[in-house]
Amino acid sequence: MGEHFTINGPDGAFMAYVATPAQANGHALVVIQEIFGVNKVMRDLADAYAAEGYFAVVPDLFWRIQPGIDITDQTPEEWQQAFDYFGKFNVDKGVVDIQATIDHVRKSHGTIGAVGYCLGGLLAYLTATRTTINASVSYYGVGIQERLAEATAETKPLLLHVASEDSFVNKDAQAAMKAGLSGQAQIRMHVYEGLDHAFARVGGQHYDAAGAKLANERTMAFFAETLS
């Protein structure tokens, strides 16, 4: 069972869900939300990472819109709400809040990774390019192809999971990502053939157990390598 704590960012205070490991490995993860807020899917992910030994923190990045947003992907009405929140969300401010989360966690943990999903996948990419994170993992990030110029030699180690049939990241976007990031040795990109957006979201319409298992194993191996 997780807890909550308050993070004091430059623009104000916001809450975060925290999952503390029973057997800590000494590392922390910032788990970055989808467009549905810090919901059960995100809390369960944090709990799963804590079970692997990570101190896992899920900051409420929608707090400027409305604190405590917690909806699902199970009804058309909630999808409409989620897209409305997404339309109001300021990506740049979200990265500021992620840095504030990193700063807060850094007081107790020296090495910190980030892992994000959907909107959080884009933010995980920007976390690697803009913040002091040690390493970052992006699951089916939306809009990365529009920000490829941010990836430089200074970008932190970054792992990208991309679904070949992603309805939000088309083939042209995928090709642009592959071409634009191929020169960066610290950036790795895996494409999951035949899978659609959110293939790792348990209970989601496009969930694929085999694809999720492979991606999650790669994530764990990447963090074991880059956070050691």
Q: Which residues are catalytic?
A: 166, 197
Strand partners, 57: 18, 30
Phi, psi of 168 (to 5 degrees): -105, -10
> Which residue, among 212, 186, 195, has the nearest Cα to 128 in the 3D structure?
186
Cβ(162)–Cβ(190) below 8 Å? yes
- Cα(160)–Cα(173) distance, integer angstroms: 13
Residue 68's region, left for phi above 0, alpha for psi from -120 to 50, else beta, is left
Cβ-proximal residues to 217 (8 Å cutoff; 6+ apart), any chain: none
- Cα(205)–Cα(140) distance, integer angstroms: 15
- Cα(160)–Cα(197) distance, integer angstroms: 13
Tokens of 89: 């969300």
Cβ(200)–Cβ(187) below 8 Å? no
Phi, psi of 83 (to 5 degrees): -65, -30
